[in-house]
Amino acid sequence: MNTIIYSKDFEPITAIDLPLEVLESAEQKGGLMLSLKNGEESTKGLIHINCYKVPWIDGSLKAILVAHEEELALLLKPDWLVGQRAVVAAYQRTVKILTDKLRKTKPED
């Protein structure tokens, strides 16, 4: 499930995809830990995330996830929101085209 990770100042840091059971566990326990890996088996860092329940306009309580290690949370692989996906995909296509063109060009001697 897509969820937003916020800073302590309630600024959105990133959107990530977490399994529903992980989110439910975070709500029950008041938080969770995420491991940030650097591509190998070694861990680059642990991100402590608190889960706060805030009252919503319909009277229900909504869970808000807040990262303690905000800089590390910025390194999480984002799962783009629906409205962002087309723009990100277009950007990625453009970068790929430009990268391919750069690879084909030879430096002049």
For residue 19, what are the domain limits?
A: 2-80
Number of domains in the chain: 1
Q: What is the pLDDT of residue 86?
A: 87
| pLDDT by 10s per residue, the chain, length 109 | 889 999 999 999 998 989 999 999 999 999 999 988 765 555 678 999 999 999 999 999 999 999 999 999 988 888 777 787 788 889 999 999 999 888 888 666 5
27 is a domain residue: yes
Question: Quick check: 2 and 15 in contact, CB under 8 A?
Answer: yes
The bridge status of strand 31-37 relative to strand 2-6 is: unpaired
92 is a domain residue: no
32 is a domain residue: yes
108 is a domain residue: no
Q: What is the pLDDT of residue 42?
A: 57
Q: What is the pLDDT of residue 39?
A: 59
56 is a domain residue: yes
6 is a domain residue: yes
53 is a domain residue: yes
For the residues of 20-74, what is the DSSP string, one character each? Answer: HHHHHHHHHHTEEEEEEE-SSSSEEEEEEEEEEEEE-TTS-EEEEEEESSHHHHT
